[in-house]
């Protein structure tokens, strides 16, 4: 029924669009389009002014200066009094230029400023000057004392500590440990005699990575089972001043490869007892990071994400007996996005702030670390916490970024908030329907907010942090010269996903001088890597998409289902399903675009992408040839068994099963229809080049026609300038039906 409804909606638009003649320029017209695109690329840069404000706060924390870049590379320096809400030229530009004698007033290369009690000090090329009474005097670099920040940035904790070095001396210096022939030895600091604590270690499976408790009563060690990481190879064919190729080899773990494992033990120096901790092997990406409890170092915790990414725990260990309990134990049937897990340990109150998607959205929880229970959900609702800016343990507040909280706007737009640990007193620091980027004063009394969208030029405002009140507007982007080039801002466009309910968001770039009475081919810039979302959300003064559009295309970028920053259900579409790439949603989105604009030609659709986007672009021709007709695939991870372990197991799961092969572009290469250009750099150490070569091998065996560009010496890339030129030529030839300009 849903498909019938879509057919009823789209069919009249399809009939209407077919009445328009296809846009198909002559060779001469297309040559001119190349020239116009190159001209736009050269003139558009530097035509957008006042798009950003980078504040340089003075030591008093109440004033700051910034530099505006204006027309013809001129500059101006502005001083802002944040308390009064006023701004003015930071100094008399003409007088300072006259004093310096070698610069004009509009091109002063000042890199730093200090203004105190009407005394101006400034730096040019790391040389400082003092300006008084119309004269400039060289001075030593001043010592700048900035106001200390009241908040600290909170990094995401690492689950793993890859450093396997051992602590040798206890914190109280009474004990010394050594490892000999793979076993642990202990001696008193004043003694020369050592006691052997283990006997089953050896050089192949040694004990090691010892770590003392803060009170020196215990230390933790591991029986280590090393696994050598296998290698990949690159043949560098075109080295300068050499007549032979060079073989480079490096370690590279692929899905299914084993990892070094760590079996945890507690050592008791007082009675020389060794206790095996009641916990499974730590067998994923290194040894655990230990946190000893501050008020009772009998206990420590560590975090464990199981291989396969379906279980995450915070485990507490009792060092007296090796018993454990789970303070947090999250399990899922799909995946837990390990690298986005946030934990913050509140030592003074024995609490933990922890992030989870357990309710279907990425939110924060407050954990009682003594009871091992959730005290409360801190954030809640159909929105996504995107990042933690800082935690104020004294005020019990969290400062964070989120998207999707504001109804009626793009759910990807970043907004800034603060909230109490108990989930009350939520304060929004950003209001406008846009993507926001905040910059705080050193003591966080004030902040600057720069907000924009792809279809909305940037505005920068100054605010008071206590209540978010706007003090003043600092700058609004000046785009007069920018628009004089004839360029138009991208359109933000939405359409329904395959479920008929979820909004899919993307942007549209058109040629400057398109003719709405002609039908233009569509090219999608695709990247469906599940680790993030990728459609730009801020103003772009220049983009390759717009440059490509100038050749006679409608160029789009879309975030389909299976990408991040939406609900858990939206993200789960990618689970063991990377070949999907949100392509069903993307197809519906482009069809909806054509229903709105008849000049969008859905019979001539191509796409291009790099890395995961390269996998997606080639896969579109294999799995959806009824819609996509041409693809440029650069350094694609075409077979998820060949690519890096951590990325692919995160989304495709562990162990490696038949689903890996079923979705491989190599396995499915014989299904190719349409036109395909493969690009690969021979020195790619991100996605091994053999990922592309295996596709080439399979295509040759299937007697398929395709194009291949191998770039000597190039790493993980879209092919560089030459590859981008070949990409344009490929689409011009295969979607417009015109031969590109002759360059020989």
pLDDT tens, position by position, 294-324? 999 999 999 999 999 999 999 999 999 999 9
Nearest to 353 by CA among 377, 332, 386, 337: 377
Domain assignment present for 373: no
For the whole model, what pTM was predicted? 0.94
Q: What is the mean pLDDT of residues 483-506?
A: 97
What 3-state DSSP class applies to 431? coil
The parent domain of residue 612 ranges over 487-735
**Is pLDDT at 686 greater than 80 in this prediction?**
yes
Helix (H, G, I), strand (E, B) or coil at 691: helix
Note whether residue 582 is domain-resident.
yes
Q: How confident is the model at residue 119 (pLDDT cuts 50, 70, 90)?
A: confident
Is the residue at 84 inside a domain?
Answer: yes
Label residue 150 by pLDDT band (50, 70, 90).
Answer: very low
Residue where a domain stops, chosen among 115, 139, 163: 139
Q: Is residue 550 part of a domain?
A: yes
By C-alpha distance, which of 253, 257, 256, 259 is closest to 159? 259
Segment 232-274, tens digit of pLDDT: 999 999 999 999 999 999 999 999 999 999 999 999 999 999 9
651: closest CA among 575, 599, 705?
575
> What is the per-residue pLDDT for 118?
74
The sign one gets for the Cα dihedral 728, 730, 736, 738 is: positive
Higher pLDDT, 513 or 7: 513
Mean pLDDT of 73-86: 96
507-558 pLDDT per residue, tens? 999 999 999 999 999 999 999 999 999 999 999 999 999 999 999 999 999 9
Average pLDDT over the chain, rounded to whole? 94
- Give pLDDT, residue 180: 95
List the single range of 187-191, 524-528, 680-684 with lowest mean pLDDT. Answer: 187-191
Query: d(Cα 537, Cα 483) in Å, to the nearest integer?
Result: 20
Residue 682 belongs to a domain = yes
The model's confidence at residue 124, banded by pLDDT at 50, 70 and 90, is: very high
From 86, 110, 139, the end of a domain falls on 139
Give the pLDDT confidence score for residue 13 in this predicted structure.
Answer: 58
Collapsed DSSP state (helix, strand, coil) of residue 540: coil
Instruction: Evaluate whether residue 278 is within a structural domain.
Output: no
User: pLDDT tens digits for 436-478?
Assistant: 999 999 999 999 999 999 999 999 999 999 999 999 999 999 9
Structure tokens at 740: 């590109």
* 421-426 long-range contacts, CB within 8 A, separation 24+: 421/351, 421/353, 421/366, 421/376, 421/378, 421/396, 421/397, 422/366, 422/376, 422/378, 422/396, 423/376, 423/377, 423/378, 423/379, 423/380, 425/397
Averaged pLDDT, 167-172? 90
**Position 185 pLDDT exceeds 60:** yes
Counting residues of the chain whose pLDDT is more than 90, the rounded percentage is 90
Pick the last residue of a domain from 94, 116, 139: 139
Q: Does position 6 have pLDDT exceeding 70, yes or no?
A: no
DSSP-assigned beta bridge partners for residue 566: none
At 492 the pLDDT is 98
In a domain, 17, yes or no: no
Number of domains making up the chain: 2
Specify the CATH number for the domain of residue 636: 3.40.50.1820
730 within domain boundaries = yes
Mean pLDDT, rounded, for 636-660: 97
Per-residue pLDDT, 7: 55
């Amino acid at each position: 029924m849903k498909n019938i409804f879509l057919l009823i909606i789209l069919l009249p638009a399809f009939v209407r669009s077919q009445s328009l003649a296809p846009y198909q320029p002559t060779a001469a017209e297309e040559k001119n389009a190349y020239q116009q695109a190159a001209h736009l690329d050269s003139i558009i840069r530097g035509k957008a002014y006042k798009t950003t404000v980078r504040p340089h706060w003075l030591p008093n924390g109440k004033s700051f200066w910034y530099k505006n870049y204006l027309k013809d590379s001129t500059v101006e320096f502005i001083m802002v009094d944040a308390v009064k809400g006023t701004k003015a030229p930071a100094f008399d530009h003409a007088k300072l230029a006259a004093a310096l004698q070698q610069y004009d007033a509009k091109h002063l290369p000042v890199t730093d400023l200090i203004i105190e009690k009407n005394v101006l000090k400034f730096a040019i090329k790391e040389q400082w000057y003092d300006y008084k009474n119309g004269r400039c005097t060289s001075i030593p670099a001043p010592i700048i004392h900035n106001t200390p920040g009241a908040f600290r940035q909170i990094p995401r904790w690492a689950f793993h500590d890859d450093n396997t070095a051992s602590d040798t001396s206890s914190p109280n210096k009474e004990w010394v440990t050594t490892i000999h022939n793979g076993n642990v030895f202990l001696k008193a600091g004043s003694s020369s005699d050592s006691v052997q604590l283990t006997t089953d270690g050896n050089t192949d499976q040694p004990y090691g990575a010892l770590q003392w408790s803060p009170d020196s009563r215990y230390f933790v060690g591991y029986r280590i089972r090393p696994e050598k990481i296998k290698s990949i190879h690159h043949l560098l064919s075109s080295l300068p001043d050499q007549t032979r190729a060079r073989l480079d080899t490096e370690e590279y773990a692929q899905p299914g490869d084993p990892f070094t494992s760590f079996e945890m033990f507690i050592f008791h120096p007082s009675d020389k007892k060794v206790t095996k901790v009641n916990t499974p092997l730590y067998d994923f990406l290194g040894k655990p990071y230990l946190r000893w409890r501050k008020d009772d170092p009998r206990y420590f915790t560590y975090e464990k994400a199981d291989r396969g990414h379906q279980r995450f725990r915070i485990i507490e260990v009792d060092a007296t007996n090796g018993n454990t309990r789970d303070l947090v134990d999250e399990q899922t049937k799909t995946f837990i996005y390990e690298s986005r897990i946030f934990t913050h340990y509140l030592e003074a109150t024995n609490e933990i702030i922890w992030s989870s998607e357990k309710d279907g959205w990425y939110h924060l929880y407050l954990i009682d670390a003594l009871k091992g229970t959730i005290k409360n959900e801190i954030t809640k609702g159909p929105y996504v916490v995107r990042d933690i800016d800082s935690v104020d343990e004294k005020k019990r507040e969290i400062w964070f970024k989120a998207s999707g909280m504001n109804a009626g706007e793009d759910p990807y737009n970043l907004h800034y908030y603060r909230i109490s640990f108990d989930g009350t007193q939520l304060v929004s620091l950003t209001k406008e329907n846009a993507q926001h980027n905040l910059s705080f004063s050193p003591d966080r009394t004030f902040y600057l907010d720069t907000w924009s969208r792809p279809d909305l030029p940037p505005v920068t405002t100054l605010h008071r942090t206590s209540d978010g009140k706007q003090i003043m507007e600092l700058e609004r982007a000046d785009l007069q010269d920018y628009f004089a080039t004839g360029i138009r801002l991208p359109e933000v466009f939405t359409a329904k996903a395959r479920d008929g309910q979820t909004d899919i968001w993307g942007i549209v770039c058109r040629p400057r001088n398109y003719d709405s009475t002609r039908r233009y081919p569509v090219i999608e810039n695709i990247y469906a890597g599940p680790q993030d979302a990728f459609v730009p959300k801020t103003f772009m003064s220049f983009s390759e998409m717009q440059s490509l559009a100038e050749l006679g295309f409608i160029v789009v970028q879309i975030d389909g289902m299976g990408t991040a920053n939406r609900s858990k259900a939206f993200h789960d579409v990618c689970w063991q399903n990377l070949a999907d790439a949100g392509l069903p949603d993307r197809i519906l989105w482009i069809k909806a675009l054509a229903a709105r604009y008849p000049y969008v030609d859905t019979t001539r659709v191509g796409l291009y992408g790099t890395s995961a986007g390269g996998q997606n672009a080639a896969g579109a021709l294999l799995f959806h040839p009824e819609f996509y007709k041409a693809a440029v695939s650069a350094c694609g991870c075409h077979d998820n068994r060949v690519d890096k372990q951590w990325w692919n197991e995160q989304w495709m799961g562990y162990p490696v099963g038949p689903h890996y092969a079923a979705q491989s572009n190599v396995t499915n290469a014989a299904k190719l229809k349409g036109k395909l250009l493969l690009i690969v750099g021979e020195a790619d150490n991100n996605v091994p080049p053999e990922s592309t070569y295996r596709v080439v091998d399979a295509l040759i065996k299937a007697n398929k026609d395709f194009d291949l560009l191998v770039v000597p010496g190039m790493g993980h890339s879209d092919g560089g300038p030459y590859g981008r030129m070949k990409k344009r030529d490929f689409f011009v030839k295969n979607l417009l039906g015109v031969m590109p300009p002759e360059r020989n």
